[in-house]
A and B are shown apart, each in its own frame.
Chain A
Amino acid sequence: MKLTGAEIVLECLLEQGVDTVFGYPGGTVLNIYDAMYKYDGKIKHILTSHEQGASHAADGYSRSTGKVGVCFATSGPGATNLTTGIATAYMDSSPVVFITCNVSENLIGKDSFQEVDIIGITMPITKCNYMVTKVDKLADTIRAAFAIAKSGRPGPVLIDIVKNVTAQKTEFTSIPKDQHYSEGTLGKIMKYASVDFSTPSPNVEDIDKLVDMIKASKKPLTICGGGVVRGRAQQEFTEFATKIDSPVAVTLMGAGGFKGRNPLTAGMIGMHGSQASNMACDGCDLLIAIGCRFSDRVALDTKSFARQAKIVHIDIDRSEINKNVKTDHHIVGDAKKVLAMLNERVTEQSHEEWKKYVFSFKTETEYDDIKDKLTPKQILNTIARIAPQDTIVSTDVGQHQMWAIQHFHFDYAGQLLTSGGFGTMGFGLGAAIGAKAGNPDKTVIHITGDGSFRMNCNELSTEQYYDIPVITFIFNNKTLGMVRQWQTLIYEKRYSETTLDRGPDFVALAEAYGLKGAHVTNVTELENAIKEALEWKHGYVIDCAINTDEMVRPMVNGGSPITDFVVR
C-alpha cells in the first residue's frame, strides 16, 4: 500500500498501540495534522496551549500508564519549546517519543523560516535522536524510536522529519510489534548489542555475593529508587524488604515503589529526608540501593554517605555504578529481575533491635496544626482523607513538592508524578492532564505553589476544552517558598526577588478559563471545596492560603553530611 510520510507516521503509532498524542501544529508539521483527519477516532490528539505543556502531558501520560508517551510539534520555536519537557523526561528516565518536523530538505541549512537544528539541541537530553530525510526510512526509524524509548533504562527519543518526507509516498506494510526487532535499524542493533533489548539479566555470582552480605548484616537499610518505579518492581521490592527485615528509605523518584504505610517505611531520604531515613543511612552496616543514582540531593556529601556501611548498588545502567558514590558491590540488571532472583535466594532475617533504633526517629515531620489557618500538613491530610486512596498526584517543584511527598502515602508505582532530577517548575499541570488522559477512571490532583502554577497555568484551557477534570491545589504563600527558605537560612533573610505579592486572583483566573475555584483559609473551607470539586467533575482550582515563612523540615544543606540537619 502506497502511503504518504504523514500517513506512515500515524500508521506506525497505531502499530505501537498509541491512542493518545499531545501536541501543537505549525507550518512544517501540517501534513501530519492533515492526515489525522483520516485517522479520526483511532488516535486522539490533545491540543495544549503551549508545546511545553504538551511535552509534560506526554511525560505524565507515560509515567502514570507505563506506556510510551507521544508528542508532536512543529519546527523552530515549536521544537525548542519542547526542550524543557524533553530534559525533564530524560532526567527522570521517562519514555516519550517526540516527533517534530523540520523545513523541507531544500531549505535545510539556509536559516529558513522556523528552521532550527533540533537534533543538535536535543542531543544531550535524549537517549538518541533521528533526523529523517528519506521517506523509506521513516517507518523503520519510528519503530526503532519506540523500542529504544522503552528499553533498558527508558528515556525520551526525538524524531525530526523534514517536511517534504511527510508528503512523499512510499510502500508501507504494517509489521506486528514483536517482529520489529528482527529487521532494519533494530535488527542491526540487536546484532552488535551484547545485551538483551529489554532487560539485562543479572550475573548469578553477583547475586550470591549479595545474599552472603545480607546474611552477615546486622543493620541493613534498603533504598527504593526511581528504578523500582520505572521497572514496576513494587511487589518484588516489598517481598525483598520484608524478607530481609530492613527499613526502607525512599527517594523522591522512588515514591510509590514501596507502600507509604508499610511499617518498614522510614520515609524519604536526602536533603529533606526524614530523620529516620537519614539517621539509618548514617548508622547502617549494609546499604542496598535499588534503582537510585545517588544524586546530590540524596548523597549530599558522598564521602560521609553511609560511612559505616558496605554499599551495594543495583542498577540497570552500568554507567551509574561508582559514578557518584563509591560502592563495595554492584549488580547490573533490571530491578524486577534482580529482586526476583534475590527473593529466591535470601533467607528470612530479623533485625528487631536495629528497627527499634531507626524507628525511634521520626519517619514524618511533625508540623503544628494552627486553628483557623492552614498548614501544609493540614491541607495534605485533608486531601488524603477525602480524595480516593488511588488518586494520582502530580506536583510542581518547590516546598509544596517536598510536603506532598512527606505527607502522602503513595501506594503504587506511577501514582506520584514529579520532576525529581530536572526540578522543572511548571511540570505539574501538563503532567496531570496527561495522567488523566491515560487514566480516565482515576482522580487526578495537581499540587502546586503560586510560583510554579503561574509558569504554565495556560493549560487550564486544555483542561476545560477537553473536560479533563484535574483538581489543582495551590499552596499559596505569596513567595517562591523554597528559595525564600534558603534565603532565610543561608542568605541572612535577604529576600532578593522572591516575593510574589502580585496577581492574578487564581480563582478568577480559573473562572476566566471556564472552570471553578475557591479561596480557602481553613480546614472547613478546604473540605467543602474538595467535596465540591469532586462532585463537580470538571477542572477546579483551590487556592490555599498558607504562611509565607512556613519551611520544609527537616533540611540538610547541600554538600553536608546527611545527619547535619539545619532545621529539624
Chain B
Amino acid sequence: MSNIRKHTLAVLVDNEAGVLSQVSRLISRKGYNIESLTVGTADNPETSRMTIEILADDDQIRLLSNQLRKLICVHSVKLLVPEESISRELLMIKVKVPDGNKRNEIIQFANIFRATIIDVSISTVTLAILGDVSKNAGFEKVISEFEVIELVRTGVISLERGINTIYDKTKEKGEFDYGKNVL
C-alpha cells in the first residue's frame, strides 16, 4: 500500500451516451478515487478519449486497467508512463484587483509564466495558463498571493511521446498493456 502514487490512464471508448458513467462508476465501485478525468472526441469521431488520473499502487492500477478493458464500451486502455508521455492542463483564474499597481504586478507574473490575459474588467483580471501540472502549480502558488475569486481547470490530457499510440495492438509477454480483456 505504500507505493500509492498518481497514475495516468488513457482510455479509448465508444462516443456514446452513458459511457462516461459506466467508466466512472466502475472506478468508484472498485474503491478508487478519480483525481482528474477529462473526456472529448478522439481522432475518430465515433470514439472518445479519456485521460484519467488515479491514486493507486502498481498492482491496483493493473487490476483496474483490466477491469476497464472488460467494459464493452472500452476499446483500449493504456497506462501512460510519465517519462514517456506529455501532459497538459488548462487553468483559468479570476483575480480581484483593487488598483492599477496590483494589476501591473499580476500582468508581470503572467508574462513570466506565459499565462495569457483573457478578460479584464475594472476590478478583475482573468488569466489562462496552459502547462503541465508542475508549471501550473507554480503559477497557482504565485497568483494565490493575490485575491483569487474563482478558478477552473480542465483536468490533465496526455499523449505518449514519439510514434507510440493507443492504437498499437502489440502486447507485452505475460501481460497485455492495452487491447481488450475477455469479452
Could you list which residues of chain A lie within 8 angstroms of chain B, going by C-beta atoms? 119-120, 123-124, 127-128, 131, 148, 151-153, 189, 192-195, 197, 200, 203, 205-206, 316-319, 321-323, 332
Q: Does B29 contact A (CB under 8 A)?
A: yes
Q: Are B182 and A153 in contact (CB under 8 A)?
A: yes
Contact B181 A317 (CB under 8 A): yes
Which residues does chain A contribute within 8 Å of B29, judged by CB atoms? 124
* Interface hits, B60-84 → A, CB 8 Å: 62-63, 66-67, 69-73, 75-76
Q: How far is the CA of A152 from the CA of B72 in the complex (A)?
A: 12
Whether the Cβ atoms of A194 and B169 lie closer than 8 Å is: yes
Asked if B176 is at the interface of the complex by the 8 Å CB criterion, the answer is yes
Closest Cβ–Cβ distance, residue A195 to chain B (whole Å):
6
A193 contacts across to B, CB distance below 8 A: 179-180, 183
> Which residues of chain B from 6 to 27 have any CB-CB distance to chain A below 8 Å in the complex?
18, 21-22, 25-26
A318 to B177, CA, bound (A): 11
Cross-interface CB contact of B72 among A127, A200, A203, A318, cutoff 8 Å:
A127
Instruction: Report the bound CA distance from A127 to B181 in whole Å.
Output: 13
Q: Is the CB of B69 within 8 A of A206?
A: no
Does B173 belong to the interface (CB within 8 Å)? yes
Q: Are A124 and B25 in contact (CB under 8 A)?
A: yes
Tell me the bound Cα distance from A131 to B17 in angstroms. Answer: 10
CA distance A128 to B173 in the complex (A): 29
Interface: B105 (CB within 8 A): no
The answer for the CA separation of A316 and B181 in the assembled complex, in Å, is 9
CB distance from A40 to the nearest CB of B (A): 34
Report the minimum CB–CB distance from B66 to chain A (whole Å). 4
Let me know if B63 and A319 touch, CB within 8 A.
yes
Rounded to whole Å, the gap between the CB of A407 and the closest CB of chain B is 35
List of B residues within 8 angstroms of A119 by Cβ: 18
| Residues of A with C-beta under 8 A to B67 | 319
For residue B76, which residues in chain A have a CB less than 8 angstroms away from its CB? 192
Residues from chain A with a CB closer than 8 A to the CB of B66 are: 318-319, 321
A-B contact pairs, 19 of them (CB 8 A): A120-B21, A123-B21, A123-B22, A123-B25, A127-B70, A189-B183, A192-B76, A193-B179, A194-B180, A200-B182, A206-B174, A317-B70, A317-B182, A318-B66, A318-B69, A318-B176, A319-B63, A319-B181, A322-B63
Apart from A194-B179, A194-B180, A195-B179, 15 more pairs, CB < 8 Å: A119-B18, A123-B21, A123-B22, A124-B29, A152-B182, A153-B182, A192-B180, A193-B180, A195-B183, A197-B183, A317-B70, A317-B182, A319-B70, A321-B66, A332-B182
- Which A residues touch B169, using CB under 8 A? 194
Tell me which residues across on chain A come within 8 A of B63, comparing CB atoms: 319, 322-323
**Whose C-beta in chain B lies nearest to the C-beta of A322?**
B59
Question: In the complex, which residues of chain B have a beta carbon less than 8 angstroms from the beta carbon of A205?
Answer: 173
Cα-based distance from A321 to B62 in the complex (angstroms)? 10
> By the criterion of a CB under 8 Å from any partner CB, how many residues of chain B are at the interface?
28
Does chain A have a CB within 8 A of B171? yes
Q: Is the CB of A128 within 8 A of B21?
A: no
Give CA–CA (A206, B176) in the complex, Å: 14
Nearest-neighbour CB distance to chain A for B182, whole angstroms, equals: 4
Would you give the shortest CB distance from A314 to chain B, in whole angstroms? 13
Contacts of A151 in B (CB 8 A): 182-183
Scoring B residues 148 to 180 as 1 if CB is less than 8 Å from chain A, else 0, what string do you get? 000000000000000000000101011010011
Q: Compute how far the CA of A193 lies from the CA of B174 in the bound complex, rounded to whole angstroms.
A: 18
Q: Within the complex, what minimum Cβ distance (angstroms) separates B46 from chain A?
A: 8
In the complex, which of the residues A189, A319, A322 has the most CB atoms of chain B within 10 Å of its own CB atom? A319
Q: How far is the CA of A123 from the CA of B180 in the complex (A)?
A: 19
The distance from the CB of A307 to the nearest CB of chain B, in whole angstroms, is 19
Complex CA–CA separation, A239 to B171 (angstroms): 32
Across-interface contacts of B73 in A (CB, < 8 A): 128
For the complex, what is the distance from the CA of A332 to the CA of B183, rounded to whole Å?
A: 13
On chain A, the residues within 8 Å of B22 by CB distance are 123
Question: Which residues of chain A come closer than 8 Å to B18, judged between CB atoms?
Answer: 119, 131
The CA-CA distance from A195 to B75 in the complex, in Å, is: 12
Please name all residues of chain B whose beta carbon is closer than 8 Å to the beta carbon of A194 when the two chains form the complex: 169, 171, 176, 179-180
Please name the residue on chain A nearest to B59 by beta carbon: A322
Q: Which residues of B contact A124 (CB under 8 A)?
A: 25-26, 29
Q: Which residues of B contact A195 (CB under 8 A)?
A: 179-183
By a CB distance below 8 angstroms, the chain A residues around B21 are 120, 123
Q: Which A-chain residue is minimally distant from B12 (CB atoms)?
A: A192
Q: Please, how many angstroms separate the alpha-carbon atoms of A354 and B97 in the complex?
A: 82
Set of chain B residues within 8 Å of A152, measured between Cβ atoms: 182-183
Separation of A463 and B116 alpha carbons in the complex (Å):
74
Residues A318 and B71 in contact, CB atoms below 8 Å apart: no
Q: Which residues of A contact B75 (CB under 8 A)?
A: 192
**Cα–Cα, bound, A332→B66 (Å):** 12
Question: In the complex, what's the smallest C-beta–C-beta distance from A107 to chain B, in angstroms?
Answer: 18
Contact B59 A148 (CB under 8 A): no
Complex CA–CA separation, A152 to B71 (angstroms) = 13
Question: Once bound together, how far apart are the Cα atoms of A317 and B71, in whole Å?
Answer: 12
- Please give me the residue from chain B that is nearest to A199 by CB atom: B182
Q: Which residue of A lies closest to B47 (CB)?
A: A192
The docked-state distance in angstroms from the alpha carbon of A128 to that of B25 is: 13
Ranked nearest first, the 3 interchain pairs of A and B with the lowest CB-CB distance are A194-B179, A152-B182, A319-B66
Q: Closest approach, in angstroms, between the C-beta of B147 and any C-beta of chain A?
A: 42
Residue of B nearest to A131 (CB): B18
User: Bound state CA distance, A200 and B182, in angstroms?
Assistant: 7
Distance between Cα atoms of A231 and B168 in the complex (Å):
31
Cβ of A318: which chain B residues have Cβ within 8 Å of it? 66, 69, 176, 181-182
Chain A residues within an 8 Å CB radius of B180 = 192-195
Residues of A within 8 A of B62 (CB): 322
CB-CB under 8 A from B174, the residues of chain A are 203, 206
CA distance A151 to B66 in the complex (A): 17
Q: Which residue among B18, B29, B176, B182 has the maximum number of chain A CB atoms within 10 Å of its CB?
A: B182
